[in-house]
């Protein structure tokens, strides 16, 4: 590892360094009557998969001196979103026992619980582990949940995606025994000196995200990640992985030096070197990433500063395998895998649209009951998608049809009957759980989509694919900056409107209108929607149309970067 100037370390670096590999005083606080943890441990808890939050709806109206209504978010990491029926049922059971009665499918194919009380953290984590899953490294300055195309096909590329996602997750999982000691009553480690051979005592400078896609499907939004792998086949054989680096979407309002950025091509590697390549990128980040300013501590800033050539040289200097030129590919297609889809060996999958990933029972639509019944009755594989949806896989065709009927009986609309504005929409959780939210998102999106659905139907484009995404702050958790249309929270009731991404997610959107009130969101883009409906060419999405109007329709970003990205970055949006 490169030597670092420890005097310039941020406070979080100091917490990590003195934590005895993620132990801190977590165990003591669990054993105490306190309702919440002290500041230092909050950073460490993230590595264990949990965030301390409080009910933000209850912040106002507290009497003087009354403490916040503390609760916890708990995140399960599931590489490529894969779970078994038994795991799903175990996860579902915990939602009532320890959380707020809901499961939340995340934009990175993981699962979240909200509203877990401090005293219930340990039994919940133990139960998740008992179901052979983990919350370890679902958050924190480490490799996060590794994403992969969820389609349950066994052709070489799909199989390679699943294998690569699992191998990367395995390779970069923290080695510290702290998790087992604290949550699973594992044996105490006598010495902690050599506990983290890869991460060392301060782990990575910041979160690190990897996704694996296919040349035939970019459903994981490959360009938004620190590292993206794209599986490329040659006939029936897997030929190589293209490696892209330096993507990331988080920005801060009013800080022009923060930016959303798309990943760019590094080169290609042989299939057996995929996990090794990701590990080298993570090691360069570990050794050279910014540890003084967390706002600039993502890989994208290092690559922005160095340039891709210097990064490539550093990669080659560390790799014991060849980094070949990127393999040129056309723009990546995109699928959401919803509805009835043929898969391997005569089996079928049924993809269920879940609004903002929230598996809950509402008055009219009982997603949780419907999914629990479908999973317990037909024993499918369960795969979470990057669009916050769920696929039930490995079904016989008659069972897949019965699943659709069962869902309908609980009020769940089949995907083919959904308007495009709804089917492709996403929102982050925001209020009342997220501590960083400055505006509503998940709770507001349904009403906004209702308005857009009605307008787009009137304009005759109800079923034309369009991605509408909303977030409660500029951090980008629902990947707003690659959508056709996005609403990014500025403050309560106020949003920035972005336009110009698209389904393929290979282009960044532009700031289109600033500071628009909730009740004026449709009005702000209606003239553009009208023109799109009347003037679009066949297959032209809203983002494509907007880019054409702006004179930037071509060329689009390709996987070798031979052409320039159309919209650049949105760093100057403020
Ligand atoms: Fe995120 C922080 C939720 C995907 C960028 N994100 C948070 C926290 C933990 C808030 C906090 O730090 O206190 C949110 C918890 C809210 C809650 O109440 O549950 C949160 N992020 C989510 C999820 C649940 C959104 C969702 O609708 O599913 C996603 C969990 C994924 C998972 O399973 O691991 C989620 N977050 C993303 C993505 C999208 C992606 O990774 O594909 C991004 C943009 C990509 C990127 O990382 O650049 C994203 N989240 C952030 C950031 C900005 C990071 C940055 O570099 O600036 C933060 C803030 C931070 O880290 O300081 C953040
Ligand atoms: Fe919270 Fe902002 Fe992420 Fe939404 S985008 S979950 S408000 S951090």
The confidence score (pLDDT) of residue 64 equals: 80
The confidence score (pLDDT) of residue 516 equals: 98
Q: How confident is the model at residue 564 (pLDDT cuts 50, 70, 90)?
A: very low
Q: How confident is the model at residue 574 (pLDDT cuts 50, 70, 90)?
A: very low
The confidence score (pLDDT) of residue 546 equals: 96
Q: How confident is the model at residue 336 (pLDDT cuts 50, 70, 90)?
A: very high
- Give the C-alpha separation, 113 to 50, whole Å: 9
Q: Write out pLDDT tens, residues 462-480.
A: 999 999 999 999 999 999 9
- pTM of the entire structure? 0.95
Q: How confident is the model at residue 26 (pLDDT cuts 50, 70, 90)?
A: very high
The residue ranking higher by pLDDT, 349 or 6, is 349
User: Which residues line the pocket of ligand 1, CB cutoff 6 A?
Assistant: 51, 73, 75, 106-108, 110, 112, 138, 144-145, 209, 224, 248-250, 298, 357, 388, 428-429, 433-436, 475-479
Say which of 23, 75, 206, 368 is annotated catalytic: 75
- Give the C-alpha separation, 159 to 164, whole Å: 8
The confidence score (pLDDT) of residue 191 equals: 53
The confidence score (pLDDT) of residue 558 equals: 54
Q: Write out pLDDT tens, residues 188-217.
A: 655 555 689 999 999 999 999 999 999 989
Chain-wide mean pLDDT for the chain? 93
CA 330–ligand 2 middle distance (angstroms): 33
Residue 17: other Cβ atoms inside 10 A: 14
219 labelled catalytic: no
Do 461 and 504 touch, CB atoms closer than 8 A? no
209 labelled catalytic: yes
User: What is the CA angle 187-192-197, rounded to 5?
Assistant: 115
CA 430–ligand 2 middle distance (angstroms): 5
Q: Which of 58-72, 329-343, 415-429 has the highest mean pLDDT?
A: 415-429
The confidence score (pLDDT) of residue 254 equals: 83
Nearest to 346 by CA among 154, 84, 159, 80: 154
The confidence score (pLDDT) of residue 532 equals: 98
Q: Write out pLDDT tens, residues 502-543.
A: 999 999 999 999 999 999 999 999 999 999 999 999 999 999
Q: Write out pLDDT tens, residues 236-256.
A: 889 999 999 999 999 998 888
Which ligand number lies closest to the CA of residue 228? 1
The confidence score (pLDDT) of residue 568 equals: 34
Residue 187 confidence (pLDDT) above 90: no
40 exposure class (CB count in 10 Å sphere: 0-12, 13-18, 19+): middle
> What percent of the chain shows pLDDT beyond 70?
94
Chain position carrying tokens 């590329």:
157
Q: How confident is the model at residue 23 (pLDDT cuts 50, 70, 90)?
A: very high
Q: How confident is the model at residue 184 (pLDDT cuts 50, 70, 90)?
A: very high
The confidence score (pLDDT) of residue 188 equals: 65
The whole-angstrom distance between residue 543's C-alpha and the CA centroid of its chain comes to 21
Say which of 286, 291, 473, 556 is annotated catalytic: 473
428 labelled catalytic: yes
User: By three-state DSSP, how is residue 175 classified?
Assistant: coil
The DSSP letter of residue 418 is S
Do 188 and 181 touch, CB atoms closer than 8 A? yes
Query: Residues near 39 by Cβ (< 8 Å), separated by ≥ 6?
Result: none
The confidence score (pLDDT) of residue 3 equals: 54
Average of per-residue pLDDT across 315-330 = 96
The confidence score (pLDDT) of residue 192 equals: 52
Average of per-residue pLDDT across 365-374 = 98
Q: How confident is the model at residue 129 (pLDDT cuts 50, 70, 90)?
A: very high
Nearest to 422 by CA among 355, 506, 485, 345: 355
Residue 351 confidence (pLDDT) above 60: yes
Average of per-residue pLDDT across 253-271 = 94
Q: How confident is the model at residue 559 (pLDDT cuts 50, 70, 90)?
A: low
CA 450–ligand 1 middle distance (angstroms): 26
User: Which residues line the pocket of ligand 2, CB cutoff 6 A?
Assistant: 428-430, 434, 436-437, 441, 471-473, 475, 477
Average of per-residue pLDDT across 77-98 = 98
Sheet holding 103-105: strands in order across? Answer: 50-54, 70-76, 111-116, 103-105, 358-359
The confidence score (pLDDT) of residue 556 equals: 53
Helices 274-288 and 299-306 cross at an angle (nearest 10°) of 80
- Give the C-alpha separation, 50 to 75, whole Å: 6
The whole-angstrom distance between residue 509's C-alpha and the CA centroid of its chain comes to 18
Average of per-residue pLDDT across 168-172 = 97
């Amino acid at each position: 590892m490169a030597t670092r100037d420890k005097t310039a370390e941020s406070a979080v670096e100091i917490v990590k360094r003195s934590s005895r590999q993620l132990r801190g005083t977590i165990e003591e606080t669990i054993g105490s009557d306190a309702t919440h943890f002290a500041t230092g441990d909050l950073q460490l808890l993230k590595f264990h998969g949990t965030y301390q939050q409080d009910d933000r709806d209850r912040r106002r109206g507290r009497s003087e001196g009354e403490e916040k209504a503390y609760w916890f978010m708990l995140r399960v990491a599931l590489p490529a979103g894969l779970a078994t029926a038994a795991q799903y049922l175990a996860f579902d059971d915990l939602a009532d026992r320890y959380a707020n009665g809901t499961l939340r499918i995340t934009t990175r194919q993981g699962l979240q619980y909200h509203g877990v009380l401090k005293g219930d953290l340990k039994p919940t984590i133990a139960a998740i582990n008992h179901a052979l899953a983990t919350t370890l490294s679902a958050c924190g300055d480490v490799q996060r949940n590794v994403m992969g195309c969820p389609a349950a096909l066994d052709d070489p590329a799909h199989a390679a995606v699943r294998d690569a996602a699992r191998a990367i997750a395995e390779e970069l999982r923290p080695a510290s025994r702290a998790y087992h000691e604290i949550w699973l009553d594992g044996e105490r480690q006598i010495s902690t000196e050599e506990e983290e051979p890869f991460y060392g005592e301060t782990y990575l400078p910041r979160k690190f995200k990897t996704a694996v896609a296919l040349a035939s499907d970019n459903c994981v939004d490959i360009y938004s990640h620190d590292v993206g792998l794209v599986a490329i086949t040659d006939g029936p054989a897997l030929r190589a992985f293209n490696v892209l680096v330096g993507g990331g979407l988080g920005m801060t309002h009013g800080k022009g030096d923060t930016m959303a950025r798309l990943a760019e091509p590094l080169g290609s590697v042989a299939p057996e070197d995929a996990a090794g390549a990701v590990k080298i990128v993570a090691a360069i980040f570990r050794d050279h990433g910014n540890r003084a300013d967390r706002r600039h501590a993502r890989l994208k800033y290092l690559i922005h500063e160095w340039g891709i050539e210097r990064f490539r040289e550093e990669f080659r200097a560390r790799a014991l395998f060849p980094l070949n030129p990127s393999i040129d590919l056309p723009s990546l297609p995109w699928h959401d895998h919803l509805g009835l889809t043929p898969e391997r060996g005569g089996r079928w999958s049924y993809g269920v649209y879940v609004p903002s990933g929230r598996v809950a029972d509402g008055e009219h639509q009982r997603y949780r009951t419907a999914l629990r019944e479908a999973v317990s009755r037909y024993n499918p594989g369960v795969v979470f998608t990057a669009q916050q949806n769920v696929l039930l896989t490995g079904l016989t065709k008659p069972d897949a049809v019965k699943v659709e009927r069962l869902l309908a009986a609980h009020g769940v609309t089949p995907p083919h009957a959904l308007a495009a504005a709804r089917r492709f929409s996403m929102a982050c959780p925001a209020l009342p759980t997220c501590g960083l939210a400055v505006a509503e998102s998940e709770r507001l999106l349904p009403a906004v989509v209702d308005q857009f659905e009605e307008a787009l139907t009137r304009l005759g484009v109800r079923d034309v694919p369009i991605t509408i995404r909303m977030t409660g702050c500029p951090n980008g958790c629902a990947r707003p900056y690659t959508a056709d249309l996005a609403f990014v929270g500025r403050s309560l009731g106020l949003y920035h409107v972005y336009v110009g991404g698209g389904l393929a997610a290979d282009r960044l959107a532009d700031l289109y209108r600033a500071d628009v009130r909730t009740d004026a969101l449709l009005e702000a883009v209606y003239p553009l929607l009208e023109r799109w409906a009347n003037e679009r060419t066949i297959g032209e999405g809203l983002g494509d149309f907007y880019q054409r109007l702006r004179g930037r329709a071509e060329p689009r970003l390709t996987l070798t970067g031979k052409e320039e990205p159309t919209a650049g970055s949105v760093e100057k949006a403020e």
